[in-house]
Structure 1
Amino acid sequence: MASTKDRQRALERARYERVQQKIARQQAAARRKKRVAIVTAVAVLVVGGGATAAVLATSSNPKTTPQAQSSASAPASAAASAAPSSTAEKTGYTKTGTAAKNVGIPVFDATAAAKPYTATIHTNRGDIVFTALSAKAPYTTFSFQYLAGKNYFDNTNCHRLVTSGIYVLQCGDPTGTGQGGPGYQFQDENLGYFGAAGSSGQVTYKAGTVAMANSGPGTNGSQFFLVYKDSPLAPNYTPFGTITKGMDVLQAIAAQGNGPTDPNTQNTPPKEKVTIQSVTISQS
């Protein structure tokens, strides 16, 4: 027969195990919640519903080894991974996938790309104006100017708004699904714009930043995001513009929150539709 002390020890041991199990469950729940928060933030910038590994990814841009020519301003890691094709060597851009709008592929012109410009995004909610970082991201700003000149962005809906963890409005897909692109891709640039990443592997993308969405290194296309509040992100998304007017428009859109999540794409669109009516480029 067990002694009183033995029974007490057994009860204490059972109580201890229950407490440890409860703590383990709480820790597991916290880890799951953290993973969900991270995935939600990452998915914001992901172009395409299936590309959840990159914050702003586009599923129209497959995760392949980048083919675009590496510019002098691109980070060393991007330059090392780039394997230029004959097309990319001539143009700076590589044909890929099916274009959401058939606008051809730009031929990079270094002289034209170096010229600074201001872009005005005319939306149904008001104008948003940004200054292009032409000297720091020439391939990106040249592509954006090319697409604007081809009316690529006209009458397109911004398909994703993120209001937690990171704070961005994502646009640039004529299909409005987050899966469309221009039929070409190009390398990353200017990834050190906000300094070196900290121990978290992130930097702060400042409010007013305009940056490219992608589905992995060297897969930039047409989708971009507008940062309306400082956002912690891995330095994987090319910053190519700074908003100089219209932050109030962007913040008003964010203040209204999200509409229902699209069950097919898992996009979280703005509650009130945001449509880019046109984009005007003005040379500085």
Structure 2
Amino acid sequence: MKTRLAVPALAAVLVATLPSGVAAHADAPSAPPAPSQSQGSKVDCEFVPTPENPAAKPVRPPRDRAKTRGTIEITLRTNFGEIEFLMDRKAAPCTVHNFLSLTRQKFFNDTRCWRLTNSPRLGVLQCGDIYRAEEGGPGYKFADELTGKETYPRGTVAMGNWGPDTNSSQFFFVHSHANIPPAYTVFGKVTKGLDVLDKIVAGGIKPEPNPQDGEPTQPVRIHRALARH
């Protein structure tokens, strides 16, 4: 991934074995830059237009205030089966707010998960891009929500990025492990469908250019994303 975890483009670090979304950051930020202000049960978020990377699908940025309480269940219906995960607003309110907005606008419908990584250091499936890995976002970006203590065990759902505060639509599932810096916002946990991720991994990765990091041999298609409160 370009550094977009996209799991990094885990870029620098793995350059050869990581996902771009999951970029390889040498130094992870020590404090979260956002959300900016807390007002009771809501926080302020800022969704900054990226004219250099216009929206790949007609989509509106979320409103600039996000709830900080409650959870949301997301179901991804894929050609390999359903993957369900629970998003926690308290942990990452702006990130959950954004993902819910994109889901409601059907941004993820009829898209593909373009990147699969399976190396001694990183095991993730990267989704959320429209055209190909690292290309095709919603036309805006927003800040990280980090504590500096993030870990990424199996079943974690986190945002990909191209560097600090460049979140958009790209996200990844940790299908096995991710020994990466705490530089990617964690916003969910898989509650059903780890076996689906295992099937995807078992299908393998196209050997070129890197048999440990690239496009899944069998295309992974998200037919529909659904949200339930």
**Shared fold per TM-score greater than 0.5:** yes
Q: How far does residue 92 in structure 1 lie from its aligned partner after superposition?
A: 1.9
What pairs up with 1:83-232 in 2 under 5 angstroms?
Answer: 92-96=46-50, 97-111=53-67, 114-164=69-119, 165-194=121-150, 204-232=151-179
Q: Is the 8 A contact 1:99 1:183 kept in 2?
A: yes
The alpha-carbon deviation at position 262 of structure 1 amounts to: 6.6
1:133 Cα deviation after fit: 1.9
- Give the structure with the higher percent strand: 2
Q: Deviations over 1:190-249 (max 9, x none)?
A: 34353xxxxxxxxx4100000000001000000001001122001111111000000000
Q: Give the one of 219, 225, 228 matched to 1:273.
A: 219
TM-score norm. by structure 2 comes to 0.80
| Percent sequence identity over aligned pairs | 39
- List, as ranges, runs of 4+ consecutive aligned residues in structure 1 with deviation greater than 4 Å: none
TM-score after normalising by structure 1: 0.65
Instruction: Compare the two structures and name the one with the higher helix fraction.
Output: 1
Assess if the C-alpha contact under 8 Å between 1:108 and 1:142 holds in 2: no
- Contact 1:156/1:176, CA 8 A, preserved across alignment: no
Higher relative contact order (CA 8 A, sep 6+): 2
Instruction: Write the deviation string for residues 32-67 of structure 1: whole angstroms up to 9, x where unpaired.
Output: xxx99732234x1437xxxxxx249xxxxxxxxxxx
Q: How does 1:17-56 map to 2 (within 5 A)?
A: 38-42=14-18, 44-46=19-21, 54-55=23-24
The structural deviation recorded for 1:90 is: 7.2
Q: Quick one: distance in 1 between partners of 2:13 and 2:100?
A: 34
Aligned partners of 2:85 and 2:188 also within 8 Å = yes
Count residues in correspondence: 204
